[in-house]
Structures are given as C-alpha cells and as structure tokens.
Amino acid sequence: MIRNNISGLLAAVCLIAAIPAVPSAAADSYTMQVKVDLGGERKAISPYIYGVNEYTSSNLKSVTVHNSRQGGNRYTGYNWETNWSNAGEDWKNSSDTNIGNLSDGTGYAARQFSKVCEEKDIDYKLVTLQMAGYVSADKNGTVTKDEAAPSDRWNKVEFRKNGTLSLEPDLDDGTVYMDEYVNYLVKTLGDASTDTGIQAYSLDNEPVLWNDTHPLLHADEVTNSELVSKSIELAKVVKDIDPKAEVFGPAFWGMLPCIMIGDSDTSQDADWRAVQNQYDWYVDYYLQQMADAEKESGTRLLDAFDVHYYAQDCSTDDAILQAARSLYDPDYVENSWLQPYFGNYFPFLSHLQDSIDKYYPGTKLAVSEYNIANIADEKNTGKSVVSAIAEAEALGAFALNDVYFATYWGTLADCPYAASAINLYTNYDGEGEDFGDTLVSAETEDLSKAYAFASIDGSDESEVTLVLSNKDKTQSETATISLSGSSVQYQSAVVYAITQEHSDIRIMDVQNGLSGNEVTVELPPLSVAQIVLSDEPTDKTVYEAPDITTKETVYQFSELEESVNGYPMIPLGDKDHLKEIVINATVTSDAGSSYGGGGGGLCFNKVIPEGKTKEEWASKAVQFSLGTADIVIPYDGLFTVVKDAVAGTSEEVKGISNDEYAEFQGRWWAYSEKVEDGSDINVTFNSVKLVYEYPGSASTGEEGDVNADGKFDLSDVVALYKWLHVDGTKLKDGMAADLNGDGVLNVLDLALMKKELFS
C-alpha cells in the first residue's frame, strides 16, 4: 500500500470550457457499439460512493462530494483529549501535533472535520475510533524502542469509563475513554441524525497491520480473538450512546487480510487455524462472528464491512487503464503478485458481496480508502489522464456492485485528473448537474478499450447520463450509442470530456435532432466523457475558450535582493494576472538517502483574509524532494495564516495580498531516509519563473493597438485606462500595450503609450 504523505495546498478545480472538435473517423479510429437498455436491471446508486478522505483540508474544498472519512494511520494513535497523535512507521514513530494541539481544545479534529463538511454541504461523515490499545501521551517527537507501550509516552485506551462521562476529560489519569469520546461528539456536535453530527464510526484503521505500522503501540500481530472481541465491545459503545450512528469495520488494508488473519503457516491465531478449512476466506468467518454477536446482543453491531483497496498492478499506463477491472470484471486476469496465488478472489467487490449475502445479509459494503493509480511513475498519481480513466471506472464499478460508501485517498491538489474524474459524476457542468441516482444496464463490446455506465434519476427516463471511456492511446473511438427499452425519443446529446490535453471537464460535442434513439460520438485517444442524452433539444454549445496570452518573467535566485531577514525577495509584478510561481530546485543527500526532501514557505506580510480588514502574515507552502524539479505554487488567493502562534497551529484562508514582493523562506524542515533530522539534505534554489495570463491573443498587429482596429491612437489609450482603472473592459489585443516588454500591463505602459502619441 502506497500513500502520499506530503500534504498539498491547493484544490484541483473543474472548469467547463471547450476543446477542439474531434476530426471525423479515419484510419486511426476504431468503432465501438455501446448499448444502453432502459428496460433491463436497475439498481439504486448510493450517493456515498462519491467521497474523499479528509487527508488535508484542501481535499474537501477541491471536488463536489457527498461524504468524507477522517482516518488513516495517524488516527490509530490519536488522543482525542489532547489532539496529539503518533505517526508510527510512517514518520519515525513521532508523537506530535500533526493533527492538532492541546490548545485547540478537546476533540478538535472531529469538530474541525464537522465544520469543514458543513461548509461544503457534505452530509455523511465517518470518524475513526481508537481500538489498538494506546494513544500518544505527549507531543515530544520520536518514541524509542525502549519507550514502547506501555510506558509514560502512551495513554491507555479503555472502551468504557467506570464513572460519569465528562465533556472535560481528565488529562492526567493516563487513560482515554471511547465512550467518553463518542458522548463528547454527540453532546457537542449532535447525534448522527443532525447535519453537524457524526454519521458513522470506524473501528480503528487497518488492524492487521498494527504490528507493522505502529510496532511501538501494538507489537504483536492482531488475532481473530482480539479483533472480533474488541470490535464487538467498541461497536456496543457506539450503539449505546448514538443508536442512529453506523459502525464500519474492520478497515482491512486490502485483499490479503480478507483471505487470512495472519500467515496461515506461522500465525498463532488458534481460532482461525481451527476453522479456516470451513470457509472460503477470512471475510466469511469475521462476518459470521459479527452476525452471531447481533443475535446475542439484539442489536446490529456492524453496519458496513469496510475494506481498503490499492491497485497492485500499476507499473505502466497500460496496467492502470485496466486496473479497475479487478473490482468487477469476471473476465479480467490481473497481472500482479496477487493473481498467481489469490486469483480466485477476483473480481474483488463481487466476491465480498457474495460473502456478505451468505454470512451476514444486510451488511453494507464500504471502501473507505482506495486509489487505482497509486504506485506508478509520478505522472500517473492523478496527474495523467490515465488516472481519470481509471478513477471513473472505479466509481462505475462501485455503483454496479452496490457499494454503500467509498472515499478516495490522496492529495487531490496534486491530482487534477483524479479530481475531475470525481466531478465527472458529481458536478460535470460546474453548476451541480450529476450522474443519476439509478443505474441502468449499459455495456460495450470490449472492456479493455472502453467501459460504459449509464443512469437515470429515479424512474424518470427523460434524461440519460452515460459515462464512456476511450482507453486506446493512439486511436479515436467512434462510438455508436443505442438506447432501448424505453418509449422516450431522445433529441439531443451533450458530451463533457476529460482528455489528455486538459484535466478540466470541457464540452466537446453538442448534437440536436437525434433520431431512432441512436447517436454516434467520437472520443479522442485516452479520454473519458459524460454524455447527457435528453428528450428535449439543448441550447448548450461547444464553448470556445477565450484567447489567453501567457507571459513569463524569469529570475535567477542570484539576481534577487535579500530581505532584512536575509531571504530572497521575489517580485510579484502584476498580481491581478499572476497565475503561478514556479521555483526550480536541486535537492541532494550527503548521506546517500534514497528518499528525502523538505519544505518551507513563500511568505507574505500584507494578506487580508476574507471577511477581515487587518493585514496579516501569511504563507504558501513549498515542498521539495530529491532531484532537480520545478515546484509549482499556484497564485490563487489561498494563503495559510497563523491561528495560534504558541501552539504552532495554522489554517488556510482565502484572501488578498497587498505585497509587491514575497519573501522566500525555502527551507523550514527536511527529512531523509538515513538522517533523522534531514540534515543530510541539501537544496539549491536555481530560478523562479512568474507566469502571467492576459485576455487576448499575443500581439501580432501594431504596437499599442489594444482594440485591434488596425491603428494606434487615443482610443487605445482610453481602452487601456478603462481596463486598468474603471471596469476591466476586455482588450482585444492586450499585450500590444506592453511597450516596455516586461510581461506586465500597468500604468508604466499607459504612460509610454501617452508619450508615444503626444510627445
């Protein structure tokens, strides 16, 4: 399982624009018959398959989703009373303030999670409870082997408190109580039926890996007896305090723990060894025990069987393009280490559902962590169109296999294609239109080349939404879409697409006057589209993107002046049109670490956060890793401001910078494989490029002719003046006014225009 542990700052945004029309079918095209049968099987789609892990606050701001999970390795050692947590093997077994600090107040992580979800209209929230036995007792950094639990570096976890549950927990008793935590959340946020309350609780995170991820917290492999007994006891706590809340478990890390609780040859788990021949895989035994617990208690204790899924065959683009088929396609043979030994457990979702139906009917299926393109080359971690194609197929597979809840794991700020794939289902037009809530039958001739998932809203057949892909790298797909099983006569089709040229969702094609409930659309190589078929004509058009002129200003760091603090000062230039700041850095390791990097900040002294009038100090994060690469910092109005200087906490805000320069404090921290404090990491910042975007094409006419009427006169001076100072009137050829050639339109250019005309 691979995760990206470096937080991103900025969200991938779905912009609706146009891409050039696809050429008519030629020798480099292939045909695909796509059949949509409205008279076939229908099934309700859970709205909670379109979710993301909280991971970073920007994840909840980047896409339209209906649910979110607060979880991951950090939450196994999270102390809800103080907000301190332990990273385990993810980061040197460090106990620290990564999640929050004591000054943030009891239960800060969940309270903040609820707040952000409410702001984003996310109505289903999953929070992790601690079940492994211990949580961080301090924020003092690395826990050593001789400080392994039990020690004073850890507080003990008890499920029930023998006494009154308090909203002000005792911070000095060395114990945290889960019933007190759930009670605190209910009393503070409301129960599961409220908008601000927590709808579901997870029974910790990846318990079969505790001895690997948190060896100083839980040194031994978890056994069936421990897992099931703790799951039952903790689930009862939740149901006693908030009967309306749902319980998710066991949050297995993937397929292998679903097959066996430990190594079948060496595991000391007598429970499982004694019965493993009676069951197909461990999932069956776990479900059976939870079903028995319900009979004994009279209360359902497991609402959702929860598993994580990270595609194991992602070494190439070709593998990623097919990876999601392992979830649902019985004809697909995965080329991974799993297939030779455990190929009979594919397709994974179908196999899980069969077990649920047999051993604990009514249990819902959840995939609370997944990523289909997680271990390939960096360009395929959400930055390539193949990731969008894979993600969109996974979402379709979730709908097809009755998944109740799913949350993407990853930093969507760094994964614009993955973000757009989610938006393709939840907000494909940028105005809230989404895939329907009822899945209808759809199929293509060849899943290796194209998949299709179709939907309607309820029983209303007047509009059909169809997600269709083209997995071919070089050939356009000529797809003939036939709709049957309905008396509706469809009149129009609008094609919203994600292509390899753009991660944005763009209207690619619009057709009116359809006949015979059939339409032919062409998708370019490596693309995925949402095709909206309606019984009414459409007034949508293929949007023509406005002409944009890009100007770049490049400085070598050796050229930059230093601030009074001794840091380079980067001139921002025309901030109204500044789109991004690109810093080129070379990072090496003296110790020969195979991985390493660090981060710092681009600092501002005059940021006015939205809703405030006073200027504040703020920053934008800078992160670097081994090698020579560009660090792209979007200039998008989002800044990080200090929340509590003493506690060292901060928050991301929208604001306006009045700075003319940004102070570049490039290195605040570092990490590496071989040296704990990252002191072996050397970083040289080479150059900085400022990228500006202006309306209008690059100047090809007379210098100064901003209104493009063929001459340079007073009307051009008036046009530039109005653009600068009055109403931002569009300049047909704005860069014609850049008389001093600095890539910035400002009053200097206006003065030069006047001088040229009137001197």
Catalytically active residues are 206
- How does DSSP classify residue 738? -
Tokens 């455990």 belong to 342
DSSP string, 522-565: EE-SSEEEEEEEESS------PPPPPEEEEEEEEEGGGSPB-TT
638-644 and 627-634: which strand pairing?
Answer: unpaired
Structure token pair of residue 6: 């470096």
User: Which secondary structure element, helix H or strand E, spans residue 350, and what is its range?
Assistant: helix 348-359
Strand residues in 200-300 grouped as ranges (E): 200-203, 246-252
Buried b (16+ CB within 10 A) or exposed e, 631-656: bebbbeebbbbeeeeebebeebbebe
Asked whether 280 and 237 are in contact (CB, 8 A), the reply is no
* Count of Cβ atoms closer than 10 Å to residue 673 Cβ: 14
DSSP secondary structure letter of residue 88: G
Return d(Cα 557, Cα 684) in angstroms, integer. 9
Cβ count near 516 (within 10 Å): 9
d(Cα 258, Cα 344) in Å, to the nearest integer? 13
Whether residue 47 is preceded by a cis peptide bond, meaning omega within 30 degrees of 0, is no
Nearest Cα to 357, choosing from 401, 309, 301?
Answer: 401
The token pair at 389 is 């194609």
Q: Is 54 in contact with 39 (CB distance < 8 Å)?
A: no
Work out the angle at residue 12's Cα, subtended by the Cα atoms of residues 531 and 493, and round it to the nearest 5 degrees: 10
**Across the strands, what pairs with 653?**
639
Residue that the structure tokens 């002000």 belong to:
168
Walk across the sheet containing 476-484 and list its strands: 17-18, 506-512, 492-499, 527-534, 460-470, 452-457, 438-444, 29-44, 476-484, 518-523
Q: What is the per-residue burial (b if ≥16 Cβ within 10 Å, else e) of 442-471?
A: bebeebebbbbbbbbeeeebebbbbbbbbb
Q: Which two tokens stand for residue 539?
A: 């007034």
Q: How far apart are CA 483 and CA 392, in angstroms?
A: 22
DSSP annotation of 737: G
